């Protein structure tokens, strides 16, 4: 017996109904904000992936050579493909551009709860606006999507990599030299050794370490940060941008968040405000969304452009919803099952199914079951109605429609089935 490869899954019909429901809700929210869908290839050039994430990413990739010797990789995430598409085809379009995507991604990692080797992402990118109101809209959109899905137990945390980078710059650590430090902060290990290597002085360390400890409500965090940064003009300017963004969130009615100035996403292209969303019921693998402001187009040969966006870990999002309630998608009637009473009624049953299907979900019973067994099958499959095509009724130009919930039956003229709404 063959099994699915390790780290992959098969989805049964009920699971897919729930996943499609979540996807449909997200699409509706994204499009309500004016975002338009794009699709990129499942595999990209290996050079594209390593240009964004470095050569060390290879050990986490499914990469290969094609028959012409080209180095390719299954995409491990969707930001790089989207920005490659932007540089190839959209960078001269009117801005801002609002794009969204759904797609499968692949990483060779140890499978665990909420983490698979094939997984799905859903996200947005807002390209071409360098202003705080753009970053605010992206955060609001993520929170609005979760609210409309009905996820109750989540935590939105907002930080500012721009402020941390300004602190490092004022301490003499500039440009790409900052990236290992950002990664160490994100991973929570090796920070002191890197600060030693970069010769960060006592003042810079004190400010940086103090910033990393600031987490809580807006007023207390901002006040403490302003005291820490009183002699750091560049960092204070970044902090002012964050305060402006938070004021926009208030205008949107978003107050359910914590300010966490210790967030430092490990990818070196993040430049300004960053945010993460957690679902605490998922345990250790609780992050369901991450995003922020970044600059990446120039890495792929385009002109620098301000960009902000986020990606939901779609699988974790579905899992978080399932932790909160038994059923994600609203229950729906399975429509009508058409049951021919014998082979002689099959032609009429096909005609009946065509008529009912014009306005309703409808299936034809294909197992040639007797009526009692057909009704049992309809009950197990969750059909709300059964259309019984019997010889005597057909002679009168009718079929019997049975309500499986109430048990009531009524005759309906076959020609009127075209307008029937069950």
For the stretch 357-395, pLDDT in tens is 999 999 999 999 999 999 999 999 989 999 999 999 999
Phi, psi of 307, rounded to the nearest 5 degrees: -140, 145
Q: What integer pLDDT is reported at residue 115 of this predicted model? A: 83
Q: What integer pLDDT is reported at residue 414 of this predicted model? A: 95
CA nearest to 87, candidates 301, 343, 274: 301
Distance of CA 102 to the CA centre of its chain: 7
Measured CA angle at 26 (ends 22, 30), to 5 deg: 175
Query: Cα separation of 118 and 374, whole Å?
Result: 39
Grouping H, G, I as helix, E, B as strand and the rest as coil, residue 169 is helix
Query: Cα separation of 417 and 422, whole Å?
Result: 10
- Structural domains of the chain in order of their starting residue, each with its CATH number: 13-324 (3.30.930.10), 336-419 (3.40.50.800)
Q: What is the DSSP letter of 280?
A: G
Q: What integer pLDDT is reported at residue 176 of this predicted model? A: 78
> Residue 59 in contact with residue 108, Cβ under 8 Å?
yes
Per-residue tens of pLDDT for the chain, all 422 residues? 999 999 999 999 989 999 999 999 999 999 999 999 999 999 999 999 998 777 888 999 999 999 999 999 999 999 999 999 999 999 999 999 999 999 999 999 988 877 899 999 999 999 999 999 999 999 999 999 999 999 999 999 999 999 999 998 888 888 778 878 888 888 788 888 888 888 888 888 888 899 999 999 999 999 999 999 988 899 999 999 999 999 999 999 999 999 999 888 756 678 889 999 999 999 888 999 999 999 999 999 999 999 999 999 999 999 999 999 878 877 666 899 999 999 999 999 999 999 999 999 999 999 999 999 999 999 999 899 999 999 999 999 999 999 999 999 999 999 999 998 88
Beta bridge partners of 275: 158, 291
Longest dimension (CA), the chain: 96
CA nearest to 420, candidates 343, 335, 345: 335
Query: Cα separation of 328 and 170, whole Å?
Result: 49
Measured CA angle at 213 (ends 211, 215), to 5 deg: 100
Which strands sit side by side in the sheet containing 385-389, from one edge to the other? 362-364, 336-340, 385-389, 398-403, 409-413
Query: Cα separation of 305 and 303, whole Å?
Result: 6
Beta bridge partners of 401: 387, 410
Q: What integer pLDDT is reported at residue 178 of this predicted model? A: 83
Residues whose CB falls within 8 Å of the CB of residue 312, separated by 6 or more in sequence, listed in order: 26, 121, 122, 123, 142, 145, 288, 289
What would the pLDDT profile of 59-71 be if each residue is shown by its tens digit? 999 999 999 999 9
């Amino acid at each position: 017996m063959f099994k699915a490869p390790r780290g992959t899954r098969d989805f049964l019909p009920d699971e897919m109904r729930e996943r499609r429901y979540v996807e449909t809700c997200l699409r509706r929210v994204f499009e309500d904000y004016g975002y338009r869908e794009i699709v990129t290839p499942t595999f990209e050039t290996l050079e594209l992936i390593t240009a964004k994430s470095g050569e060390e990413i290879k050990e986490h990739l499914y990469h290969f050579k094609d028959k012409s010797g080209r180095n390719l990789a299954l995409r491990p995430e969707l930001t790089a493909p989207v920005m490659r598409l932007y540089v190839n085809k959209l960078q001269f379009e009117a801005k801002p551009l609002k794009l969204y995507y759904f797609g499968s991604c692949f990483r060779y990692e140890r499978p665990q709860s909420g983490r698979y080797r094939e997984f799905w992402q859903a996200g947005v990118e807002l390209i071409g606006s360098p202003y705080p109101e753009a970053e605010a809209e992206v955060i609001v959109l993520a929170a609005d999507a979760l609210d409309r899905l009905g996820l109750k137990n989540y935590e939105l945390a907002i930080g500012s990599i721009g402020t941390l980078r300004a602190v490092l710059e004022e301490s003499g650590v500039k440009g790409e030299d900052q990236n290992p430090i950002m990664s160490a902060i994100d991973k929570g290990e090796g920070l002191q050794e890197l600060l030693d290597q970069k010769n960060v002085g006592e003042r810079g360390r004190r400010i940086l370490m103090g910033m990393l400890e600031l987490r809580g409500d807006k007023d207390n965090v901002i006040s403490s940060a302003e005291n820490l940064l009183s002699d750091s003009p560049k960092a204070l300017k970044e902090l002012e941008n964050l305060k402006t963004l938070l004021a926009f969130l208030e205008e949107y009615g978003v107050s359910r968040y914590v300010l966490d100035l210790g967030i430092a996403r490990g990818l070196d292209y993040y430049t300004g405000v960053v945010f993460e969303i957690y679902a605490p019921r998922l345990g250790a693998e609780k992050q369901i969304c991450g995003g922020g402001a970044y600059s990446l187009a120039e890495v792929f040969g385009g002109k620098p452009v301000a960009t902000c966006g986020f990606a939901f870990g779609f699988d974790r999002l579905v899992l978080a919803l399932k932790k909160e309630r038994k059923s994600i998608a609203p229950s729906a009637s399975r429509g009508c099952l058409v049951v021919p009473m014998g082979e002689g009624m099959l032609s009429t049953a096909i005609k009946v199914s065509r008529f009912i299907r014009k306005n309703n979900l409808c299936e034809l019973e294909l197992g040639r079951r007797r009526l009692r067994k057909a009704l049992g099958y309809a009950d197990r499959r969750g059909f709300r109605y059964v259309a019984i095509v019997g010889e005597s009724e057909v002679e009168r130009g009718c079929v019997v429609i049975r309500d499986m919930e109430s048990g009531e039956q009524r005759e309906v003229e076959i020609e009127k089935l075209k307008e029937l709404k069950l």
